[in-house]
Amino acid sequence: MDRQFLVSRIKEKKNFLCVGLDTDADKIPDDLKAKKYSLFEFNRRIIDETIDYCVAYKINTAFYEAQGSKGWEQMQKTVEYIPSSHFKIADAKRGDIGNTSHQYAKAFFVNMPFDAITVSPYMGNDSVTPFLSYKDKWTIVLALTSNVGSKDFEQQKIGNNLLYESVIKTVASWGTADNLMFVVGATKALDLKRIREIIPNHFILIPGVGAQGGSMEDVVKYGLTGDGGLLVNVSREIIYAGNGKNFAKEAGKIAKRYDTNMKSYL
């Protein structure tokens, strides 16, 4: 998916919601657990009920990898079920020496129809640029995350900058606003003002709204651009809104609530 199409979808729907499919095998309803493709069946129903209220889905690959080959199969079935009208993110946090990153990119961009993958920048240029070589695919680089441990490295002062600032400045020079995004946690929304000074035109993926306590109002205030410029991910609050037979409808209600809220900003 190219930038023009993504922007047009956001403007058309007045929505920048990304639904996170962090599908935990232990948390799906009991009546689904006996099914052969239980994770996919859960995801299928969630997608059907939320498709009108979001522009993107983010699949956290760890929840599928933990199930072995059967989990990978269900991840593939899930990403293939999501229509091409919606931006599809593999939240895989990959990044290794060049030849390994090439294989990661092939796995998610060639063998599975993802539009984007999250990447760790720790190993530098040659670990990130292989992902950038694919046309109309996006590399989403970890910058400033919501977790408590972000203070251990990301928020340390390196020279005149915080480390995450140096990461953003350096990585932004490896690609363009057409193929690079950055991850900034919603609980760090006040830092978005400074981040927008560094990357005024790049998209930013924002996890942490909802269950993790991030503020939508602050995210929009400091991060929204004329093109939208944001994908706000909500996972647990939506997909686990209910745990009975009507779990998917309950998820749809929460997604619709976010949709209504976002329309007031766009």
Measured distance CA(120)–CA(139) in Å, rounded: 10
Does 77 participate in catalysis according to the annotation? no
Question: Of 11, 93, 221, 253, which one is the catalytic site residue?
Answer: 93
Measured distance CA(162)–CA(198) in Å, rounded: 13
**60 contacts 236 by C-beta, under 8 angstroms:** no
| Nearest Cα residue to 43 out of 17, 76, 68 | 76
Measured distance CA(40)–CA(32) in Å, rounded: 10
| Nearest Cα residue to 88 out of 16, 138, 28 | 138
**239 contacts 19 by C-beta, under 8 angstroms:** yes
AA letter at 222: Y
Measured distance CA(196)–CA(191) in Å, rounded: 9
Query: Would you please indicate which residues are annotated as catalytic (active-site) residues?
Result: 93
